[in-house]
Structure 1
Amino acid sequence: MQPLALSSPLELLDELKRKVRALHRLQFQVLEIVGTLDQQGAAATLGYKDLVEVFKHALHWDPKVSRRKLTQAKALCTTVTPSGATVEPMLPFAAAAMAAGELSEDHVDVLAEAMAGLPAAVEANLVDYAQQHEPRSAKAFCKELAYRLDQDGPEPRDFEPAAPRNVVRRQWKAGRYHLFADVDAETGAKLDALIDPLAKPEPADLRHAPERDGDAFCELIDLALRADQHRISGGERVQLTVTLDYDKLRTAIGTARLDNGEHIPMNQVRKIACDAGVVPMLLGSRSQVHDVGRKTRTINVGLRRVLVARDRGCTFPGCTRPPSHCEAHHLRHWSNGGSTDLANLALLCRRHHDLVHQSDWQIQMDGGVPVFRPPAFIDPHRRPRQNQIHAVA
């Protein structure tokens, strides 16, 4: 083909269509490999819990991408039974169309969702339509076809109340903590009973109701931290750990770091330091943490605090789990003579703790920091990696 700049719009469009069809064919080949790995139980062979984790490390796919491809592979790929018999794919017409480069992954998602509630006989019609239209239009066509096939709707049945779900969404954004809650009526009534007395307007109170409720909610958090009965988190009662540099504390300049990685100004540190349930973790002028471990398998409260101050969360490369979600891992196992001290410990979330024990991932200390070497199938040179997320938190 001649240089793109010298091509006409029609020539460019024809070339683009050829490239896109080739891309769809290649995507189908990727799904075939994904499906075969799934059928072979490759994750367990490699020491992983599932293929989502394998793809995260080997291909750098997000879990959402991996789950999507695994679902598509189940729908489009031929399978082989333990006896050696071949089983046709759930969506044979869609599989053939994508293999020929005529369907995209987005089309496959639409067709798989629609066919879950439609008879197999209509798949050919749906695929034929999808080959000629964009996924959004194909979705509307599938919906209309489903309505025409079942205009009466499903058979009526006795009402079954749905089990109540309690949902809380939490997010740090621009130095603020955003909180959304959708809870059952009983919990809501309890929260109202706690907030209402604290949110009553005072004389000459200029705050609006949402602001009074917000201040009352913050007061409830302080009350909970000061309460005698606390849940246990990571081997000690729930509390807030504030890590600050000695020089910054002395000069009252700069910020301190909370145990979730967020930073707060020094004047705010001095305020919360007056409350119970707040543990100040003071670092030396070079940010060293002092080893307070002892020669037992059990990790005591003091040792865990300095471990949290050093690691700041799960140390596995790329993991964002905070310290409260982590366990302390012995780099050299206790049963093999490993000691319980800072130089032989690393924080790992449960998922990565299991992975390290079951796979070929290796951990070693380098300059007082846990460093990981991946299995050879991820990196043939097994070059060391660190969790850079917590390192710059």
Structure 2
Amino acid sequence: MPTFALSSPLELLDELKRKVRALQRLQFQVLEIIGALDQQGAAEALGYKDLVEVFKHTLRWDPRVSRRRIKQAQVVCPSVTPTGSPIGPALPGVAAAMAEGELSEDHVEVLAEAMAGLPAVAEEHVVGYALEHEPRSAKAFCKELAYRLDQDGPEPKEPKPSQVKNSLRRQWRDGRYLLSADLDTETGAKLDALIDPLAKPEPNDARLAPERDGDALCEVVDLALRGAGTRIHGGERVQLTVTVDYDKLRAGLGTALLDNGEHLPMNQVRKIACDSGIIPTLLGSRSQVHDVGRRTRSVNAGLRRVLVARDKGCAFPGCTRPPKHCQAHHIRFWSDGGATTIDNLVLLCRRHHDLVHHSDWQVRMAAGLPVFHPPAFVDPRRRPRTNPIHVA
């Protein structure tokens, strides 16, 4: 039986308050360390782009959590000028209260956002309120305080003419591809001109207008892919890559894999195969060009197909980037004599490609697959890691 089970409700609440205050003091100490790392430029020293990436590997924090805590550290921790002169915290009252365990991270986030639009003298008042109320109430208090200090609001300005921008939202959801677009008049008219002739109802056509428009858009996409002027991407003309086991294709069973990680039912794959250029890829066979040796640093189209079939995206542990966002990296650098062969190449997204070049992350091949060894500060034993998200 837990020790606390014998305590009264009031005793439990007192103990809970003590634990929470201790936790909040510890959270402040965490922010102090984050602030010091930020001031020292630790990310660059370790070969990383920023602290968000460092914390992802060392602390397993989500980027959202890291950004939040870095921002909090910047308002409660002291800093230095470029000349080395010390500067106190941007919000000294908030920092002192959190150091005592009286304010939570949520309080700090609310007060930092509020103080960005309030004079410095208001900090004492907002901290005093936050010491007695939860963050949501403190946010409402800050909003009311800002209104009372400036009831007239900011000086009205002449409205600036808004610049017309085109936007397109794309999202995969449950095996479906959702589109939402906001286009300028000219582009909208061009799209209408493409879709309208293809969306006309046929005799005895039971489709409603949205379905006809959707089918017409699919035809427009097919026409664009077949166009002679299709842009080059990843060493080849833009195309749809479907990876499928040949025996499953013949039997019509199971699913195939698109290069974005989505699975496609076999009946759709067989339909695509009726009007497609099929490139058989057998790892290790002589039917596909795997090796261009030292003749060139660039990866040809055939070799990239093999890389995509093997790695199925960025091979860095935990990365979800698909092949179209990846570059071919020489494990043994080309400048050091590395060959352009399948056993010396790995797919990496731009972010992790930079990381491998500028940090102590190391890549090697094991049993024909890329394996990554983290720096000692991530794992003192530098145990090998792979990326199980892309099943090879």
Q: Report matched runs for 1:316-355 at 5 Å.
A: 316-355=316-355
Relative to structure 1, the CA distance from residue 342 to residue 144 in structure 2 (aligned partners, 3 Å threshold; closer, same or farther) is: same
Shift of 1:84: 4.0
Relative to structure 1, the CA distance from residue 92 to residue 287 in structure 2 (aligned partners, 3 Å threshold; closer, same or farther) is: farther
Shift of 1:279: 5.0
Q: TM-score, normalised by structure 2?
A: 0.94
Identify the range of structure 1 (9-18 vs 69-78) with the bigger mean alpha-carbon deviation. Answer: 9-18
| Counterpart residue identity of residue 292, structure 2 | R
What SS does structure 2 have at the residue aligned with 1:29? helix
Q: Deviations over 1:290-312 (max 9, x none)?
A: 55221232211011011101100
Relative to structure 1, the CA distance from residue 344 to residue 156 in structure 2 (aligned partners, 3 Å threshold; closer, same or farther) is: same
Distance in 2 (alpha carbons) for counterparts of 1:275 and 1:95: 66
Q: Which residue of 2 aligns with 1:8?
A: 8
Q: Deviations over 1:270-298 (max 9, x none)?
A: 2112345x6545457x9999552212322
- Contact kept? 2:195, 2:213, Cα under 8 Å: yes
Distance in 1 (alpha carbons) for counterparts of 2:78 and 2:11: 37
Q: Which residue of 1 aligns with 2:151?
A: 151
Q: Report matched runs for 1:27-106 at 5 Å.
A: 27-106=27-106
Q: Which residue of 1 aligns with 2:369?
A: 369
Distance in 2 (alpha carbons) for counterparts of 1:140 and 1:204: 60
| Counterpart residue identity of residue 233, structure 1 | H
Distance in 2 (alpha carbons) for counterparts of 1:367 and 1:289: 21
Q: Which residue of 2 aligns with 1:229?
A: 229
Q: Which residue of 2 aligns with 1:382?
A: 382
Distance in 1 (alpha carbons) for counterparts of 2:236 and 2:244: 21
Q: Deviations over 1:158-186 (max 9, x none)?
A: 11123344333322222222223334444
- Contact kept? 2:281, 2:306, Cα under 8 Å: no
Q: Which residue of 1 aligns with 2:175?
A: 175
Shift of 1:190: 3.0
- Contact kept? 1:76, 1:92, Cα under 8 Å: yes
- Contact kept? 2:195, 2:220, Cα under 8 Å: yes
Distance in 1 (alpha carbons) for counterparts of 2:143 and 2:322: 43
Q: Which residue of 2 aligns with 1:24?
A: 24
Shift of 1:69: 1.0
- Contact kept? 1:43, 1:50, Cα under 8 Å: yes
How many correspondences in the alignment? 389
Distance in 1 (alpha carbons) for counterparts of 2:122 and 2:189: 50
Q: TM-score, normalised by structure 1?
A: 0.93
Identify the range of structure 1 (85-94 vs 372-381) with the bigger mean alpha-carbon deviation. Answer: 85-94
Q: Deviations over 1:91-132 (max 9, x none)?
A: 111111111111111111111111111111101101111121
Identify the range of structure 1 (368-377 vs 237-246) with the bigger mean alpha-carbon deviation. Answer: 237-246
| Counterpart residue identity of residue 112, structure 1 | A
| Counterpart residue identity of residue 314, structure 2 | C
Gaps of 5+ in 1: none
Percentage of matched positions with identical amino acids: 71
Distance in 2 (alpha carbons) for counterparts of 1:157 and 1:13: 53
